Amino acid sequence: MKKKAVKRKIRLDVKSNAGGTGKTTLVTHLAYILGKKGYSVTVIELDPLGSLKIFTGAFSKIEDPPPEKTLAVILRDDFNGNYPLFPIWNNQVNNVNVILGGAPLEESIHKVYSHSRKYYLLQDRLEDYPLESDIIIFDNPGGLEPMGLVALAAATDILVVMQLEYKALYGSAGLINWFYDKIVELRLRPEPKILGFVPSQVNLKKVAAHRNIGEEIPLQLRELGISCFPPIRESNQFINASGVGLPIHLFAPSCEAVKDFDPIVAKIIELMSQE
């Protein structure tokens, strides 16, 4: 049962300006938790590395899905609205699907640069052939262009994953400026909103830099008018769970890290319940 009726559908763009930040971990866990609460979720992977198939068990770990089973087919000019949806964890939830990326997206990236609609391709498809999901979550590659712009143009809201490193502390203002510059450049209407930053892979007990930066970054972001969520802790259980295609809620339900996603989920549900 849903806790609140969905009045507003969300397209959540989960970004980072680097790889290995825990972005896909966050995406998959948000998808599971929201699905468990009764919301329909579709995750769209824009990453040619294709790690989502491993994190969700949606496809073979050692093979890439064929192009017609990935986002690549959606970005083709002859797409007819038949989305290549893979249901995941359907013995636990029946309303969570993924659209995979992977190697077939390499050709799509070249297409983005040469196409007349360029960064608006995914937005066009979702407008012409709407998915019925309450929330669509975009899982981006590390870095911001070009697929990061494709996701941004299609998004209603943005969530930024960051590691607690000094370069992230000093680079957060520049990243926020990049978002606002691109929103203006792409003439996005309505403008996607920055939901907040999420510190990831954090060990406050053992890493002094995490404690120091963890105190500074919320203050710095607040000065810029941006929220900072409580951190997602570092845990080997995330690695173990992703290796078998499960969220830690199913792999290690007693792990304390299962609670770390709750503030983000609560904010997303709040947004979906607003007009």
Domain extents in the chain: 10-265
* Token pair listed for 237: 């259980």
**Residue with token string 């498809």:** 125
Spatial distance between the Cα atoms of 130 and 202, rounded to a whole number of angstroms: 37
Q: How far apart are CA 58 and CA 44, in angstroms?
A: 12
Distance of CA 141 to CAs 1, 213, 242, Å?
Answer: 33, 25, 17
- Identify the pLDDT of residue 200: 84
End-to-end C-alpha distance for the chain, whole angstroms? 20
Print burial letters for 180-201: b (CB count within 10 Å at least 16), e (below 16): eebbeebebeeebebbbbbbbb
CA distance 98 to 90: 12
Average pLDDT of each block of 10 consecutive residues along the chain (275 residues)? 78 85 93 96 95 90 88 95 96 94 91 91 97 96 87 96 76 82 95 93 70 78 89 89 93 92 96 89
C-beta separation of 172 from 221 below 8 A: yes
- The confidence score (pLDDT) of residue 2 equals 56
Q: What is the pLDDT of residue 13?
A: 97
In 3D space, the residue among 51, 125, 118, 123 whose CA is nearest the CA of residue 84 turns out to be: 125
CB 231 within 8 A of CB 22: no
Fold of 10-265: Rossmann fold (3.40.50)
What SS3 string covers the chain?
CCCCCCCCCEEEEEECCCCCCCHHHHHHHHHHHHHHCCCCEEEEECCCCCCHHHHHCCCCCCCCCCHHHEHHHHCCCCCCCCCCCEECCCCCCCCEEEEECCCCHHHHHHHHHHCCCHHHHHHHHHHHCCCCCCEEEEECCCCCCCHHHHHHHHCCEEEEEEECCHHHHHHHHHHHHHHHHHHHHCCCCCCCEEEEEEEECECCCCCHHHHHHHHHHHHHHHHCCCCECCCCECCHHHHHHHHCCCCHHHHCCCCHHHHHHHHHHHHHHHHHCCC
The pLDDT assigned to 4 comes to: 65
What confidence score (pLDDT) does residue 158 get?
Answer: 96
| pTM reported for the whole predicted model | 0.94
User: Buried b vs exposed e over 43-79: b needs ≥16 C-beta within 10 Å?
Assistant: bbbbbbebbbbbbbbbbeeeebbebebbbbbbbeeeb
Q: What is the pLDDT of residue 3?
A: 60
